[in-house]
């Protein structure tokens, strides 16, 4: 292990790395309950999604640890799974097989740009303000999804949306779970989101035993469901996805964009904390880390889950001393072992249990708002429109498109045309064509 992970050089030990891996797993474990529900809304079998989520997280985390020696674990990403279900499938009408195909293609492209150096060119072309706005906007979007799924927010014919029935036991459970999770996060409890889900599930199970309706429950059958109906299904989606090339481009670009910059932000953030950023601001082994992330996405799509990406929750493991890839490998092994308790997770984790996690993770993602220069109206308007349109259009890709268009127009109005990167011009034209096409939702 010393030769493989350079433990002494990094100032750590096997014991510390394993503890860090456990901590990271606990901080990320909520994805095992949340992802099957979100992708289930797209028509996928939740049991199969659980298996794909656990196996892809295990595989990608282990690859990250062995290839890049980073203490960064990976799993199906929050936000991009919402893009998969609520925008591509429910919004644009594509099947989940076509959506998996788009994820697979985006992963292959990510692999190519990770090994050809195109990555740096793209990163430099996109303004940091828009990157922050997109991350924040996705936070608001998934929080809204959580509120809707829990019944806290419902449709209203007079005002579009309104407050749900707070006397409904399931809705009340979600509210209580949200308050508990917020309290845990504020008190800096390790793995607060996961602990909040566990507490909410336990409260729901107790409520169910007392006769309350629509509560989480323990399974009556503990037989493991090892079926993976989504494995290889992406191959069935090629024809449907590329029947409209422009729509296919926008979908693939959206998956690639969110994964690309979410991963870059996570790696830079953690790299800064553990001394992997040199005096030039360059991240050591960045290409290997991005390649590991891309391989995870390709593998995840192949076995039946949405985009696999680096989790910022890995910082929790770094916080207890994780410095090498052994942390990520440990987390990956624990994801694999989680399959043994899949019946409990699938039965006890309902919308009321996952809603608090979605909302609180949304809050964490929205903290990127502080990095936006709100005194510059070009950045303020483009960022605001990006975030607002994601929520009101119920579409992450539409929000991204609107933000790029407003940014380009704003820069022109401000007399800063020369500062617009040529890549941004190309993207703006593509997005205008996207909005002009009949299929656009």
Cα–Cα distance, 432 to 94 (Å, whole number): 21
Q: Beta partners for 76?
A: 308
Q: How far apart are the first and last CA of the chain?
A: 52
Establish how many alpha carbons lie within 13 A of residue 370's alpha carbon, considering only the half-sphere containing its beta carbon. Answer: 4
Residue with structure tokens 């608001």? 140
Residue 164, number of CB atoms within 10 A of its CB = 20
Q: Name the token pair of 195.
A: 């602990």
* Size (the chain), residues: 441
State the DSSP code for 155.
E
pLDDT of the residue at 215: 93
Q: What angle do CA 241, 47, 344 make, to 5 degrees?
A: 150
Q: Name the token pair of 286.
A: 């960045």
Query: DSSP letter string over 366-389?
Result: HGGGGGS-TTSHHHHHHHHHHHHH
Residue with structure tokens 């483009």? 382
pLDDT of the residue at 441: 44
pTM here?
0.77
pLDDT of the residue at 186: 95
Q: What angle do CA 22, 132, 259 make, to 5 degrees?
A: 55
Helix (H, G, I), strand (E, B) or coil at 154: strand
Residue with structure tokens 């690309």? 260
Q: What angle do CA 93, 96, 98 make, to 5 degrees?
A: 80
CB contact at 8 A, 85 and 41: yes
Cα–Cα distance, 340 to 345 (Å, whole number): 10
CB contact at 8 A, 346 and 60: no
Nearest to 378 by CA among 129, 138, 135, 137: 129
In this structure, which long-range contacts are made by residues 3-12, counting pairs with CB atoms below 8 Å and at least 24 apart in sequence? 4/66, 4/325, 5/65, 5/69, 5/324, 5/325, 5/326, 6/69, 6/324, 7/324, 7/326, 10/274, 10/323, 10/324, 11/323, 12/321, 12/322, 12/323, 12/324
Helix (H, G, I), strand (E, B) or coil at 161: strand
Q: How large is the angle between the packed helices 118-125 and 96-116, nearest 10 degrees? A: 110
Task: Chunk the chain into consecutive blocks of 10 residues (it has 441) and report each block's average pLDDT, rounded to whole numbers.
Answer: 87 91 88 93 94 97 95 92 92 95 95 79 72 85 89 92 94 96 92 88 95 89 85 96 91 84 77 72 77 94 96 83 94 94 83 89 87 94 95 84 92 94 85 69 44
């Amino acid at each position: 292990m010393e030769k493989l992970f350079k433990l002494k050089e990094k100032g750590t030990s096997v014991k510390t790395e394993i503890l860090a891996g456990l901590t990271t797993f606990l901080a990320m474990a909520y994805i095992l309950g949340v992802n099957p529900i979100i992708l289930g809304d797209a028509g996928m079998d939740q049991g199969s999604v659980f298996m794909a989520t656990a196996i892809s997280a295990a595989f990608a985390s282990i690859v990250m640890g062995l290839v890049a020696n980073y203490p960064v674990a990976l799993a199906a990403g929050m936000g991009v799974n919402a893009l998969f279900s609520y925008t591509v499938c429910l919004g644009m009408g594509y099947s989940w097989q076509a959506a998996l195909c788009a994820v697979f293609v985006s992963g292959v492209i990510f692999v190519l740009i990770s090994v050809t150096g195109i990555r740096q060119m793209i990163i430099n072309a996109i303004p940091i303000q828009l990157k922050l706005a997109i991350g924040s906007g996705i936070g608001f979007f998934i929080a809204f999804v959580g509120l809707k799924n829990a019944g806290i927010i419902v449709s209203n014919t007079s005002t579009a949306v309104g407050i749900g029935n707070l006397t409904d036991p399931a809705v009340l459970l979600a509210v209580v779970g949200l308050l508990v999770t917020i309290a845990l996060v504020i008190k800096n409890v390790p793995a607060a989101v996961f602990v909040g889900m566990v507490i909410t599930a336990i409260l729901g199970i107790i409520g169910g035993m007392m006769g309350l309706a629509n509560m989480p429950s323990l399974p009556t059958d503990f037989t493991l469901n090892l079926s993976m109906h989504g494995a290889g299904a992406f191959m069935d989606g090629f024809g449907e996805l590329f029947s409209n090339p422009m729509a296919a481009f926008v979908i693939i670009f959206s998956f690639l964009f969110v994964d690309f910059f979410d991963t870059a932000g996570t790696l830079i953030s953690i790299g800064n904390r553990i001394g992997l950023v040199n005096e030039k601001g360059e991240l050591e082994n960045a290409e290997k880390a991005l390649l590991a992330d891309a391989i995870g996405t390709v593998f995840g799509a192949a076995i039946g889950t949405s985009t696999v990406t680096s989790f910022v929750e890995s910082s929790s493991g770094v916080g207890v001393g994780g410095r090498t890839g052994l942390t990520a490998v440990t987390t990956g092994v624990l994801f694999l072992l989680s399959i043994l308790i899949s019946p409990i997770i699938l039965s006890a984790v309902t919308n009321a249990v996952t809603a608090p996690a979605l909302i609180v993770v949304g809050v964490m993602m929205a903290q990127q708002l502080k990095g936006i220069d709100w005194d510059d109206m070009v950045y303020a308007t483009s960022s605001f429109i990006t975030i607002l349109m994601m929520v009101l259009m119920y579409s992450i890709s539409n929000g991204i498109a609107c933000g790029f268009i407003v940014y380009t127009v704003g820069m022109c109005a401000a007399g800063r045309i020369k500062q617009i990167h040529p890549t941004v011009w190309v993207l703006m034209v593509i997005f205008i064509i996207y909005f002009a096409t009949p299929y656009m939702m």
